[in-house]
Amino acid sequence: MSNSVIINLENINLENLEKKIFSNISTEIKEGELIYIIGKTGSGKSSLLKILYGDIILRQGKAEIAGVDLINIKENKIPFLRRKLGIVFQDFKLLADRSIKKNLEFVLKATDWKDKIKIKERIDEVLGLVQLQEKINNFPNQLSGGEQQRIAIARAILNKPKVILADEPTGNLDPATSKKVMKLLKDINDEGTTVLIATHDYEIISKFPSKTIRIEKGKLLELSKKSTNI
């Protein structure tokens, strides 16, 4: 596994409505790491992920992910950035008006896949990874919350991203389903993909311990893997 830095933040400041969210934060994340980001509601966990996928544009400091410079990133460069990333949300964000197959096709076509056979093969492959091949023609509302989240993860890995950013991926799920979803993310990480998970679900952290960063009073505090002081 490579030890090269895939995410680098230096001297980042972020304010929202004159409230300081981050103050002069810096961190490095290496390729292949699994990192939890924890902190109280409103501490800036989601904001940090939004910076990394280009939803919040920074004007100062240094910020890079997967070789893309995030400072003053132009709007027309954001689709290129997001092709290198897989993004998983708490509320799934599946398109309700189309089948699972059409949800996944939509992403591939939007990222310049043209070959129908290759599109079908890739969809079959990711549905196999999340063990939901039999749901390919279902609509999102015909799936349980856990199944919808597994489809959201399948969508996130369609383009074999270098980094997965997961914002409260178990937030709407019961403990048993949360464990399955987390196991899936861990398996993806074990294949070499860097995974960042913003969460308040300390149960999954205790079951799947890994490096943890806490956001507190605008600062990043790195906790050891074994730390129970969450």
The reported pLDDT for the residue numbered 225 is 62
Cα 139 from Cα 122, distance rounded (Å): 19
The reported pLDDT for the residue numbered 227 is 47
The reported pLDDT for the residue numbered 228 is 44
The one-digit pLDDT tens for each residue of the chain (230 residues) are 457 999 999 999 998 767 888 899 999 999 999 999 999 988 999 999 999 999 999 999 999 999 999 999 999 999 889 889 999 988 889 999 999 999 999 999 988 899 999 999 999 999 999 999 999 999 999 999 999 999 999 999 999 999 999 999 998 899 999 999 999 999 999 999 999 999 999 999 999 999 999 999 999 998 866 544 54
Contact predicate 177/146, CB 8 Å: yes
Fold (CATH) for 34-49+75-223:
Rossmann fold (3.40.50)
CA 126 to chain centre: 16
